Amino acid sequence: MFEFALDSNAAWANYKGHQNPALFKTLANGQSPKILWIGCSDSRVPETTILGLNPGDVFVHRNVANIISLTDINSQAVIEYAVVYLKVSHIIVCGHSACGGCGAALSEARVGGVIDAWIAPLKALRKTHEEELKSIKDDKARAIKLAELNVKSGVDALLSTYFIEEAIRERGLKVHGCVYDVACGKITNLKCGNAE
């Protein structure tokens, strides 16, 4: 399995180099991505692949349940680097259906280890929107609703960050919230950012 990944890398490099002989030469000179993607670590949501884009197009942060917490230095470092130094034009926060993190936050069971602490913001959202979530009888639909609420909350957090407010004012940075449906491969724009 491991050798397989290295072999398929060689095939990929060959294929990409054949498609565009200048690709790797250009990449070695630097990056100027237009998009910062903040998404879930879930293997079914590979950003560059589902967006049909190329290496060099998307700067990426992926964590469990695409949680944006303003005191998380890991994601904050990524966002600051992308906005202040790379000057991306768009930030996309993307949640997805069948998210394990949302499922865990909707269940009464403890996950164990550090994950409960990480998904605490999802639990808090669940409490804030208890009535709305309870009224959804289907488990899958309820998890999608929580994923959407989480994206909106992440977008709101971004919009209240100092250097993002500045980039919006000075150069028209756009923040978008989306959800990806793993059952059909399509992205839906939640229109909850400053672009709409």
Partner 1 sequence: MTSSEAKHPMSQYLQQNQDRIFENNREWVASKLAADPAFFEKLSSGQHPDYLYIGCSDSRVPANEIMGLDAGEVFVHRNIANIVPNTDLNIMSVIEYAVAHLHVKHIIVCGHYNCGGVQAALSHTDMGLLNPWLRNIRDVYRLYEKELDEIDDDGQKYARLIELNVLEQCRNVIKTAAVQKSYHENRFPIVHGWVFDLKDGLLKDLKLNFEETLGDIKKIYNLEVGTSRKSSTV
- Interface with partner 1, residue 28, by CB under 8 A: yes
- Interface with partner 1, residue 156, by CB under 8 A: no
CA-closest candidate to residue 195, choices 166, 155, 163, 151: 155
Query: What angle separates helix 120-128 from helix 139-159, to the nearest 10 degrees?
Result: 100
Q: Which stretch binds partner 1 (CB under 8 A): 34-42, 124-132, 142-150, 152-160?
A: 34-42
Residues 53-112 close enough to bind partner 1 by CB under 8 A: 53, 55-64, 72-78, 80-82, 85, 89-90, 92, 97-98, 100, 110-112
Alpha-carbon distance of 119 to 72, in angstroms, equals 13
CA-closest candidate to residue 33, choices 1, 2, 6, 61: 61
Which of 91, 93, 95, 118 is in the footprint of partner 1 by CB under 8 A? 118
Q: Return binding residues for Zn(2+).
A: 40, 42, 96, 99
44 labelled catalytic: yes
Structure tokens given for 30 = 């630097």
Active site residues: 40, 42, 44, 96, 99
